[in-house]
């Protein structure tokens, strides 16, 4: 099949997420290549070193260009940030033109709004860091998180102490959230129409200064079977509530006080953890994505994990 990969950071050369974007594009192009798919990817500068497949030279605005060419491919997958509805708009074009291997636009729209997502989860009795009233943070004696309402990953996320804090510093599109000390992990899974497949739990390497910085990860995260089962069942519930399909990653913090998982972010798209996942599971990620969409009966009931893979990003 002709598979179109659209990776936003390498297409736009966004320096803030270029390293992560290239890593994900390379991992996916390698994986689809290994199962004999014809790979195409969008580029404004021709062939990208290390990326398998054929570059499609983008002419003019990439949204308009994608609308013109997406129908030529059998399936497509978008890797892009949720901010400014970029992932939503690009996926909407794909959904209207060909087979979308990722989450549907409506699910992406929900997950992109951290305020709405948190309210939905808490209404369903799923634990998430509480959203704080910025007019009352002077009464808070501990640290808290300031993050963009429509952000992506750790970009723009800050750990704030109320000493010297001014409520006027909050932008209209930012939210304040409870800071929970604990272990930072993520889950990776594939959701289909009738089946789901748990992949891995992943350790997140995060630096907490004033800026919160994602440094990389370790795949898999070593934990007890009981905790693994708990978090994966919770991940499936969250994915179903939000309507996610295909590959997704969910960020958690496991509270040091209660040892309970809190949902921090839902990423309805490929995440950086796929770099490690494709090294340690016994199936190609592309094989799983394709069967999830085209032949769910061929999707395995589980994957085997062999070894450990650590990756670090240049920050």
Q: The domain spanning residue 253 has which CATH number?
A: 3.30.470.20
- Please name which of 175, 194, 199, 134 lies closest in space to residue 265, comparing C-alpha atoms: 175
Continuous H helices in the chain: 8-12, 18-34, 62-69, 86-97, 105-112, 114-123, 225-242, 274-280, 285-294
Give the pLDDT score at 16: 86
170 and 184 inside one domain: no
243 and 155 inside one domain: no
208 and 170 inside one domain: no
185 within domain boundaries: yes
Global confidence as pTM: 0.95
How far, in Å, CA of 201 to CA of 57, rounded? 37
Give the pLDDT score at 173: 84
Give the pLDDT score at 140: 63
211 and 296 inside one domain: yes
- Please name which of 203, 200, 202 lies closest in space to residue 285, comparing C-alpha atoms: 200
Domain count, the chain: 3
Give the pLDDT score at 1: 97
45 and 139 inside one domain: no
193 and 279 inside one domain: yes
193 and 141 inside one domain: no
Boundary (domain end) residue, out of 178, 197, 216: 178
**Averaged pLDDT in 10-residue chunks for the chain of 315 residues:** 98 91 98 98 96 96 97 98 96 99 98 96 98 73 85 81 59 86 98 96 93 94 98 98 99 98 98 97 99 97 98 83
170 and 185 inside one domain: no
How far, in Å, CA of 167 to CA of 157, rounded? 16
- Measure CA 156 to chain center: 16
Cβ contact 306:219 at 8 Å: no
238 within domain boundaries: yes
- Measure CA 310 to chain center: 18
106 within domain boundaries: no
Rounded to the nearest 5 degrees, what angle is found at the Cα of 124, between the Cα atoms of 253 and 195?
80
90 within domain boundaries: yes
How far, in Å, CA of 266 to CA of 211, rounded? 20
Find the CATH number of the domain harbouring 93.
3.40.50.11770
Give the pLDDT score at 152: 79
Cβ contact 269:80 at 8 Å: yes
Query: Domain of 160?
Result: 132-178
277 and 163 inside one domain: no
173 and 184 inside one domain: no
How far, in Å, CA of 61 to CA of 81, rounded? 17
218 within domain boundaries: yes
Give the pLDDT score at 210: 80
Rounded to the nearest 5 degrees, what angle is found at the Cα of 107, between the Cα atoms of 122 and 227?
50
Give the pLDDT score at 7: 98
Burial state string for 154-189 with b = 16 or more CB within 10 A and e = fewer than 16: bbbbbbbeeeebeeeebeeebbbbebbebbbbbbbb
205 and 96 inside one domain: no
56 and 39 inside one domain: yes
């Amino acid at each position: 099949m002709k598979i179109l990969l659209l990776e936003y950071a390498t297409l736009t050369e966004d320096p803030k997420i270029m390293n992560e974007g290239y890593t994900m594009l390379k991992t996916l192009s390698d994986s689809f290549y290994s199962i004999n798919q014809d790979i195409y990817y969008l580029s404004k500068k021709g062939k990208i070193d290390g990326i398998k497949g054929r570059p499609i030279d983008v002419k003019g605005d990439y949204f308009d260009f994608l609308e013109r060419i997406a129908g030529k491919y059998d399936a497509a997958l978008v890797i892009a940030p949720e901010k400014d509805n970029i992932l939503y708009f690009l996926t909407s074009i794909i959904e209207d033109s060909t087979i979308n291997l990722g989450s549907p636009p409506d699910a992406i729209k929900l997950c992109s709004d951290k305020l709405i997502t948190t309210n939905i989860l808490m209404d369903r009795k799923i634990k998430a860091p509480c959203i704080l009233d910025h007019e009352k943070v002077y009464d808070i004696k501990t640290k808290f998180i300031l993050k963009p309402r429509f952000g992506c990953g750790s970009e723009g996320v800050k750990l704030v102490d109320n000493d010297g804090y001014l409520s006027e510093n909050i932008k209209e599109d930012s939210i304040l959230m409870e800071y929970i000390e604990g272990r930072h992990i993520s889950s990776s899974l594939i959701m289909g129409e009738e089946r789901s497949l748990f992949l891995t739990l992943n350790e997140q390497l995060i630096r907490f200064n004033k800026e919160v910085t994602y440094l990389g990860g370790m795949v898999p995260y070593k934990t007890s079977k009981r905790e693994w089962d708990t978090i994966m069942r919770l991940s499936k519930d969250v994915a179903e509530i939000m309507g996610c399909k295909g590959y997704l990653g969910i960020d958690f913090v496991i509270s040091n006080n209660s040892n309970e998982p809190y949902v921090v972010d839902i990423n309805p798209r490929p995440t950086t953890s796929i770099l490690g996942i494709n090294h340690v599971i016994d199936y190609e990620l592309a094989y799983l994505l394709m069967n999830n969409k085209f032949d769910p009966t061929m999707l395995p009931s589980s994957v085997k994990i062999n070894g450990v893979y650590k990756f670090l990003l240049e920050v």
